[in-house]
Amino acid sequence: MIRRSFMAALLAVPFVASAQAQQTVKIGLIVPMTGQSQSTGKQIDAAVRLYLQQHGDTVAGKKIEVVLRDDGGVADTTKRVAQELIVRDKVSVLAGFGLTPLAMATAPLAAQAKVPMVVMAAATSIITAQNPFIVRTSQVLPQPAAAMAQWAVENGIKSAVTLVTDYGPGIDAETWFAKRMKEGGAEVLASLRMPLASPDFAPFLQRAADAKPQAMFVFVPSGQGAAVARQFAERGLDKSGIRLIATGDVTDDDQLNGMGDVMLGVVNAGHYSAAHDSAVNKAFVGAFKAANPGMRPNFMAVAGYDGMHAIYQALVKTKGDTDGAALVEAMKGLSWESPRGPMMIDPQTRDVVHNLYIRKVERVDSELYNVEFATIPMMKDPAKP
Amino acid sequence: MLTILFDGIAYGMILFVLAVGLSVTLGLMNVVNLAHGAFAMAGGYVGVVLVNRLGVPYLAALPLAAVAAALIGVVLERTLYVHVYGKSHLDQVLFTIGLVFMASSAVSWALGSQQVFIELPGFLRQRFEVFGVSMGAYRLLVIGVCGALAVGLQVLLSRTRFGSRLRAAVDDPVVARGLGIEVGRIFLLTFALGSGLAGLGGALGAEILGLDPNFPLKFMVYFLIVVTVGGASSIFGPFLAALLLGVADVAGKYYLPAAGAFVIYSVMLVVLILRPQGLFAPRSGR
Amino acid sequence: MRAAAQAALADLGRWRWPEVAFWVAAWGSWLLLPEQHLLLNEVAILGLFALSLDLVLGFAGIISLGHAAFFGCGAYVAGILARLGWGDPVLGLLAAGLVAMGLGFVTSFLVLRGSDLTRLMVTLSVSLVLFEVANRMAWLTGGADGLQGMVVGPVLGWFAFDIFGSVAYAYSLVVLFGLFLVARRVMHSPFGLSVRAVKGNALRTAAIGIPVNGRLVAIYTMAAGYAGVAGGLLAQTTQFVSLDVIAFHRSADVMLTLVLGGVGYLYGGLIGALVFKWAQSWLSDLTPEYWQFWIGLVFVALVVIGRERVFGWPAAVLRRIAR
């Protein structure tokens, strides 16, 4: 009984889909909407919807349709969903990819199907090298890590301990922070790696503190930053003369307010702040908040927004041609003014090139923000030649 | 070194308060309640709303969180859990996992999915130096509250009329009923107590553990470890187990970061094989 | 194995028409639903995994909340072999099954004794330990980043995996069907009946001279092998393995799947997999954020109303036919 109606329902789907295929360009958005990384998915989804709302759903004579799917942060689901989107929904572009393994699992498939993959979150450097159809609008972790080290060296920090989460992006951050520190004549006293699922950070922080560095450099995935920073303060490390420096993932705009005053004064390097001072950003933040009460856009949201922009601009350039290779070709070298500031898709590596800002957490109008005070202009991924 | 021990004890104490309710429902009422963490999450979020949004003082919010979680426990016990007391363990596992799914989605829908914390008042953010050991006021509070709870619970269960009735109701509900003990009400109260403790633990521990919709699943394993290693038939068993787990976890991460959680799980496995009733339980079960 | 399969095929006379219809429908779905091959491939894999749990839970009565240990073990064996250049799917699958069987044999001694709760915890901790091992041995497994660089060759040297999942589904379905026949044969043999007897009353079974522990070890080992093969199938057809294959939610999902379809008559896992995956896919299309709520509601309702009452009659009909 169930089986029969199931089959009937399934048989009906392809006809509906193919009838609309001519005028519609479908974008498959795969993000984690459930599970541990769900905040990433929700930010991206909200930003993508905002982009559609602001820019209309028609571009170059085609109607844009975004098909949102949840992968729960599980790699084999991401791949299966991507495959279904390509085969059944006939999407022209895949987008999203909340975590490195999710992007890595899908990369061979996208290459086989020649469908562009717009990476809106995953930040390990090697992702874009997986196939020639990957374009990234989020960030590459060596960027903030290198920027942070550069700033630390210039500001007289001679010794540091790195504290990162033990997976691809964390190791990227650790490697590039240490490299730039050494080049600047400073020392990394210890490199600590924490497991991805680690409820209590206290022992790691204590260990880092026992090495008595001038600064502690932290990278944890978006969502865990609050716990680290709070325990840093709770242990009195902020008063012991150790500076907490971090990538922007730790002082995530979405969660910064919930982290409380302990975050005040934390210096970090990132590519996007909701407090970025530009007309484009003010409009973006205002519209985002209006459309999603209770949320504040973070770097995930801006990557989703810019990802949509890259897809729209590429469609304009190809005059609506949805051939995968043509779309990727059109995205290469695109540059525009994003809410984060100027950005560009590197024509060689298809990776993101943008300003890196050194920011400090401050209270502005009763909310906590990352306030930018120094800029490293148009930084490429340092890990790529 | 002593700072690590101190941190470990505080962490263990939190685990104890979170898990002791599970030990009660599991050990005394024989219900596999994998949704226990959902009550802790509920307490935690009540704390978040009260303190961060409504400006209720932190120390006042803790008991309120416990009461709120206990009330939710009462409602669910009356409407749903009553139906699964007599069912197989498989049914109970299924039912409570279902509840966890629902609770996670509901919280994510109502309060968003980002990790949140309860704002601590200034006096809890201080640190003291005692005999060269650096201690945080917050962790001292945790240790104090949880230690008092452990003693109070032991007294409640072993010395009071309620405690003896509860043990009678569990040992033989039919005879207990015959003696005029209202088994249903005793179970209800016990369940409320367990959920209330979880709620308190959730609010108290939010600072260390963090709160997000995934909380019940993330910490379920830790609760189960405490209960299985400690044995589910007393208060002090889980108490010692929680302390051991807390200290071992913190010390393990400090001294052997490469081994990680591996040590903990292996210890649990060994305990389960050698002493299936728990490390601190009397050797013969009932 | 082939002999057993042939024997089971020879036994086809005893098959009743709904069983035949089920498999005809399963094979028919390959021809008629080309758009659904990807989902159906996952259904077949989950079905095999749930069948494996059915052997343990439904027939031997052991509650396991860590069955993903064997699934993950198989997935990593197949994945690592494919990465090292041993990309032949059939051999990889065989290796996955054998290694998982070895693990099952070793750990089976841990679940011989104890209450439901102890077994629950033992199986859970075995899977947790294995998860940590896989996490720590990042040089071999890729750790939290997942195992990358698998190259899986064509099946039998002929059929390369395509992006439509057609070869993958056919491959999984053949494996599922073969292993199902074996399981069916075994469960209807004297051995299978004695395993059921252990579940019914271990003490009495021992009293009539059946080695209870031996039976449990055997069935647990066999089930572990099945789970390993299911894991291997997943690794080969998605060409990717991450820590997720051993994660707790996989153990929970497979148990939900099995119970949804009904425990103890072999088809439960398969039907459950179909319903579970379909419901999951349908709900997560409708509401990508909150689908878990509805799945949870289904299970809560199922238990409160009573599984027997909900699945009572179809399961009873099928069970009578399957016997």
Q: How confident is the model at residue A21 (pLDDT cuts 50, 70, 90)?
A: very low
User: pTM of the full predicted structure?
Assistant: 0.83
**Nearest chain A alpha carbon to B3:** A206
> Phi/psi of residue A357, each to 5°?
-110, 140
Q: How confident is the model at residue C12 (pLDDT cuts 50, 70, 90)?
A: very low
Tell me, yes or no, whether A229 and A374 share the same domain. Answer: yes
Tokens for A192, please give them: 């600590």
Contact A234 B7 (CB under 8 A): no
pLDDT at B286 over 70: no
- Cα gap B63→B78, rounded to integer Å: 22
Tell me, yes or no, whether A155 and A247 share the same domain. Answer: yes
Tokens for C4, please give them: 């057993």
CA-to-CA dists, residue C118 to B229, C14, C70, angstroms: 11, 39, 19
Contact A105 C146 (CB under 8 A): yes
Closest Cβ opposite residue C242 in set A7, A75, A86 = A75
Which CATH number covers residue A264? 3.40.50.2300
* A130 SS3 class: coil
Tell me, yes or no, whether A302 and A181 share the same domain. Answer: no
A13 CB contacts (<8 Å, ≥6 apart)?
A88, C35
Q: How confident is the model at residue A305 (pLDDT cuts 50, 70, 90)?
A: very high
Closest Cβ opposite residue A75 in set C164, C244, C285 = C244
Mark which residues 12-71 of C lie under 8 Å from B by CB. Answer: 57, 63, 65
* C257 SS3 class: helix
Tell me, yes or no, whether A6 and A119 share the same domain. Answer: yes
Q: How confident is the model at residue A4 (pLDDT cuts 50, 70, 90)?
A: very low
Q: Distance from A207 to chain B by nearest Cα, in Å?
A: 6
**Nearest chain B alpha carbon to A228:** B208
Tell me, yes or no, whether A236 and A365 share the same domain. Answer: yes
pLDDT at C317 over 60: yes
Counting as contact any 3 or more CB pairs under 8 A, the partners of A are B, C
**Nearest chain C alpha carbon to B103:** C293
Q: Which residue has the higher pLDDT, A138 or A37?
A: A138
Give contacts of B139 with chain A, Cβ < 8 Å: 234
Q: Does B108 touch chain A (CB under 8 A)?
A: yes
- For an interface test with A, the pick among C238, C239, C292 (most A C-beta atoms closer than 10 Å) comes out as C238
Domain that residue A22 falls in: 2-139+279-350
> Phi/psi of residue C251, each to 5°?
-65, -40
Contact status, residue C52 vs residue C223, Cβ threshold 8 Å: yes
Contact B221 C124 (CB under 8 A): yes
pLDDT at A19 over 60: no
Count of CB atoms situated within 10 Å of the CB of C212: 18
Contact C146 A3 (CB under 8 A): no
Tell me, yes or no, whether A54 and A110 share the same domain. Answer: yes
Tokens for A172, please give them: 């990227």
Q: C2-322 maps to which CATH number?
A: 1.10.3470
> Phi/psi of residue C172, each to 5°?
-65, -40
Region of residue A374 (left: phi > 0; alpha: psi -120 to 50; beta: else): beta
Mark which residues 151-210 of C lie under 8 Å from A by CB. Answer: 163-165
> Phi/psi of residue C234, each to 5°?
-65, -45
Tokens for C240, please give them: 């990717």
Give contacts of C274 with chain A, Cβ < 8 Å: 3, 6
For residue B83, the one-letter residue type is H
pLDDT at C298 over 80: yes
Tell me, yes or no, whether A71 and A175 share the same domain. Answer: no
State pLDDT tens for residues B156-189: 878 888 888 877 777 777 777 778 777 788 888 8
C231 exposure class (CB count in 10 Å sphere: 0-12, 13-18, 19+): buried
Give contacts of B80 with chain C, Cβ < 8 Å: 300, 304
Tell me the mean pLDDT in the region C87-93: 89
pLDDT cut 70: percent of chain C above it:
91
Of A199-213, C121-135, C168-182, C221-235, which gets the smallest average pLDDT?
A199-213
Query: In chain B, what is the greatest distance between 2 CA atoms, to the nearest angstrom?
Result: 60
Mark which residues 214-243 of C lie under 8 Å from A by CB. Answer: 234, 238-240, 242
Task: Write b or e for each residue in B80-119: b if 16 or more Cβ atoms lie within 10 A of its Cβ, otherwise e.
Answer: bbeebbebebbbbbbbbbbbbbbbbbbbbeebbbbbbbbb
pLDDT at A7 over 60: no
Q: Note whether residue A384 is domain-resident.
A: no
The pLDDT mean for chain B works out to 82
Q: Which residue has the higher pLDDT, A312 or C162?
A: A312
pLDDT at C216 over 50: yes
- Cα gap A218→A163, rounded to integer Å: 5
Give ipTM to 2 decimals: 0.80
- Cα gap A354→A347, rounded to integer Å: 13
Give contacts of B262 with chain C, Cβ < 8 Å: 129, 132-133, 136
Tokens for A166, please give them: 């033990």
Tell me, yes or no, whether A227 and A367 share the same domain. Answer: yes
Tokens for C221, please give them: 């080992």
For residue B144, the one-letter residue type is G
**Which residue matches tokens 């197989």?**
B88
Contact B108 C289 (CB under 8 A): yes
Contact status, residue B123 vs residue B137, Cβ threshold 8 Å: yes
pLDDT of residue B260: 64
Q: What angle do CA B115, A230, A341 make, to 5 degrees?
A: 70
pLDDT of residue A14: 42
Tokens for A243, please give them: 């500076």
Contact C132 B26 (CB under 8 A): no
Region of residue A65 (left: phi > 0; alpha: psi -120 to 50; beta: else): beta
Tell me, yes or no, whether A189 and A133 share the same domain. Answer: no
Closest Cβ opposite residue B276 in set C114, C291, C292 = C114
Tell me, yes or no, whether A106 and A230 share the same domain. Answer: no
Task: Write b or e for each residue in A365-381: b if 16 or more Cβ atoms lie within 10 A of its Cβ, otherwise e.
Answer: eeebbbbbebebeebbb
Tell me the mean pLDDT in the region C272-277: 90
Contact C259 B90 (CB under 8 A): yes
pLDDT cut 70: percent of chain A above it:
94
Q: Where are the alpha helices (DSSP H) in B49-182?
A: 58-79, 89-111, 137-159, 161-171, 173-178
Tokens for B190, please give them: 């016990």
pLDDT of residue B284: 44
Q: What is the DSSP string of C12-71?
A: GGG--HHHHHHHHHHHHHHHH-GGGHHHHHHHHHHHHHHHHHIIIIIIS----S-THHHH
C209 CB contacts (<8 Å, ≥6 apart)?
none
Tell me, yes or no, whether A170 and A241 share the same domain. Answer: yes
Contact C120 B260 (CB under 8 A): no
- Cα gap A343→A348, rounded to integer Å: 15
Q: How confident is the model at residue A217 (pLDDT cuts 50, 70, 90)?
A: very high
Q: Does A289 touch chain B (CB under 8 A)?
A: no
> Phi/psi of residue C257, each to 5°?
-55, -50
Q: Does C284 touch chain B (CB under 8 A)?
A: no
- Cα gap A215→A193, rounded to integer Å: 16
Q: Domain total for chain A?
A: 2
- For an interface test with C, the pick among B85, B265, B270 (most C C-beta atoms closer than 10 Å) comes out as B265
Q: CATH second-level architecture of B2-116+128-274?
A: Orthogonal Bundle (1.10)
Closest Cβ opposite residue B273 in set C110, C249, C296 = C110
**Nearest chain B alpha carbon to C138:** B258
Q: Which residue has the higher pLDDT, A283 or A21?
A: A283
- Cα gap A270→A251, rounded to integer Å: 9
Helix (H) or strand (E) holding B127, with range, is: strand B127-130
Contact status, residue A97 vs residue A78, Cβ threshold 8 Å: yes
Q: Note whether residue A385 is domain-resident.
A: no
Contact C240 A7 (CB under 8 A): no
Q: What angle do CA B97, B102, B108 make, to 5 degrees?
A: 125
pLDDT of residue C312: 60
State pLDDT tens for residues B72-118: 999 988 888 888 877 888 888 888 888 998 998 898 888 877 777 88
- Cα gap A99→A122, rounded to integer Å: 5
Closest Cβ opposite residue B3 in set A39, A206, A226 = A206
* A201 SS3 class: coil
- For an interface test with A, the pick among C242, C270, C283, C313 (most A C-beta atoms closer than 10 Å) comes out as C242
pLDDT of residue B91: 85
Tell me the mean pLDDT in the region C238-248: 86
Tell me, yes or no, whether A135 and A12 share the same domain. Answer: yes
Give contacts of B114 with chain A, Cβ < 8 Å: 39, 223, 254-255, 258
The pLDDT mean for chain C works out to 84
- Cα gap A296→A255, rounded to integer Å: 8
Contact status, residue A313 vs residue A116, Cβ threshold 8 Å: no
Closest Cβ opposite residue B261 in set A195, A234, A295 = A195
pLDDT at A81 over 60: yes
Contact B134 A193 (CB under 8 A): no
**Which residue matches tokens 């699934």?**
C71
Task: Write b or e for each residue in B226-260: b if 16 or more Cβ atoms lie within 10 A of its Cβ, otherwise e.
Answer: bbbbbbbbbbebbbbbbbbbbbebbbbbbeebeeb
